[in-house]
Amino acid sequence: MNTTHTSYMSTIRTLYSLELHTFFLLLLVCPLLLFLLLLVVKSQKRWCNCAICTAYVTSSWASDYPNLCDWLTDLLRQSPTHTIHIHVLGNIITANPDNVEHMLRRNFQNYPKGKPFSAILGDLLGQGIFNADGESWHFQRKMAAVELNAASVRNFTVHIVSSEISNRLLPLLDSIAIDNSELPDGEVIDLQDVFRRFAFDVMCKVSFGLDPGCLELSLPVSEFAKAFDTASMLSARRGAAAFPFIWKAKRLFNIGSERELKRAIQMVNSLANEVIRQRKNLGFASTHDLLSRFMGSVQDDKYLRDIVISFMLAGRDTVASTLTLFFLQLSKHTRVKNSIREEQERIGSCEKLSNMQYLQAALYESMRLYPPVQFDSKFCLENDTLADGTFVRKGTRVTYHCYAMGRMEEVWGKDWAEFRPERWIRDDGKFSFFPESAFECPIFHAGPRECIGKQMSLMEMKAVVAAVIKRFDIEVLNGNSPKFALGLTACLNGGLLVQVRRRIQTKQ
């Protein structure tokens, strides 16, 4: 009897415990389900079954276009105002230079990065300059502008770039190069990977005063760089999501791609913090790297971490993207390559980079067709009307599409698809670089947020191109139809596979 009673009471306690656990589980889950339901309902307000939105959501555009940017370019080209709406994203996209000038200069204060953008990239970029508005942005820009314009920093950067080219990049290419007389059976290398490692090395030395040694290929690729690539790709996927509640729910429950993103960002954070710690240990009072100079004014390590990540994005990804796509263009246009070499011979020294106007024009022409940052978005603070008459409701995401802007016949003529550096040069008795309006081709952005590292980046890219094409011919093996991977910058899916051939050097 006692045994039966004990068993009965044990069963009652077990059932009671299960009911109690179920009750508390429901208390936890129900608000979450309600939260998700509200997100779904909110997102449905933007639901649209127009042809553009349907093609975007179903990815049916992919059957006719190699890249999303090519499909959007075609849509923008067909639009009378070169402006379109993707309603499911709550996004107005434009390739109209007048609209871009309106956003970036005339009504700049009404088009900040905005809280929605900060929510998308905040986990990775924090309050770094690319994700900041207001006082935070003003402080970082003013600080960076002062430092980047300092003669000591410019000289330090020139020294680092020259050293990396001479001591690492050229020896690496020479180690896998074959002579022009040999059959095409040499080693194949991913040039995009080489340039990313090179740019990462330069960025670390200039920005942090540290050398990661990325170009020593016997060593594994930097874990920091790999984690940043993953975080960049997954953050970009957030921005392209037609239904943001999905990634927000994944982040809430720490599952799927959001769990992967969290792990990548944790690795980026830990290594960024290690960079800061090492820089502090080495001392920063008398060094020329940018991080040391910021440390003199910023005491908050979290803020310094955000600045480190911004350096990473600006100094590595954009430079590597531009160089990769430039050599892809050179492989198809021997005339341009020969013209750059002729300019080198006229000038007589790779050190006189500022005099290499044709090379700079060729770089701009490559960036016109393949900008390192294909688009940039702002969020409208108050109701507004763009220059073409498009009404913009408060809170709307407005994107200017740099990739499409470089392909508009009204701006660039019927030969817009042709790689022709001469379009950037005015001949008034001698070659001189003559850039078009920044609002017609905002490859370095424009207005108050124009890239303050533009001249430093151009110097680095010109130095690399001049040194490489003087010594080598680069034969691209897989560059017929560029296909881009998802990311914050233009990155070729599968890399750029090349063979390197030594040139027959004539006596200089």
Cα–Cα distance, 103 to 387 (Å, whole number): 9
Say whether pLDDT at 508 is over 80.
no
DSSP 316-332: IIHHHHHHHHHHHHHHH
Residue closest to 164 by CA, chosen among 200, 198, 196: 198
Measure Cα distances from 450 to 73, 275, 439, 443, 453 in Å.
23, 28, 11, 9, 9
Contacts 24+ apart (CB under 8 A), 219-223: 221/193, 221/197, 222/197, 223/267, 223/271
Cβ atoms of 437 and 463 closer than 8 Å? no
* pLDDT tens column, 234-254: 999 998 888 888 999 999 999
Averaged pLDDT for residues 156-181? 91
Measure Cα distances from 108 to 130, 212, 389, 448 in Å.
15, 39, 17, 8
Residue ranges of E strands in 241-351:
none
* pLDDT tens column, 425-470: 987 645 677 777 889 999 999 999 999 889 999 999 999 999 999 9
Which residues line the annotated binding site for heme? 451
* 425 sits in which H/E element: strand 425-427
Say whether pLDDT at 226 is over 80.
yes
Which residues line the annotated binding site? 451
The number of angstroms, rounded, from the C-alpha of 323 to the middle of its chain's C-alpha atoms is: 13
Cβ atoms of 479 and 328 closer than 8 Å? yes
Residue closest to 455 by CA, chosen among 216, 183, 180, 157: 157
- Specify the pairing of strand 178-179 against strand 375-379: unpaired
* pLDDT tens column, 385-409: 999 999 999 999 999 999 999 999 9
Q: How many CB atoms lie within 10 A of CB 415?
A: 10
Per-domain boundaries in the chain: 31-502
Q: Look up residue 66 and give its two tokens.
A: 């190699």
Residue at 101: amino acid letter: E
CA dihedral 173, 179, 183, 185 (to 10 degrees): -20
* 260 sits in which H/E element: helix 256-282
pTM: 0.87
Where residue 504 falls among pLDDT bands split at 50, 70, 90? confident
Cα–Cα distance, 248 to 236 (Å, whole number): 14
Averaged pLDDT for residues 310-323? 89
* pLDDT on residue 3: 52
Name the CATH superfamily housing domain 31-502: Cytochrome P450 (1.10.630.10)
* pLDDT tens column, 252-265: 999 999 999 999 99
Cα–Cα distance, 148 to 293 (Å, whole number): 10
Residue closest to 184 by CA, chosen among 397, 487, 473, 428: 473
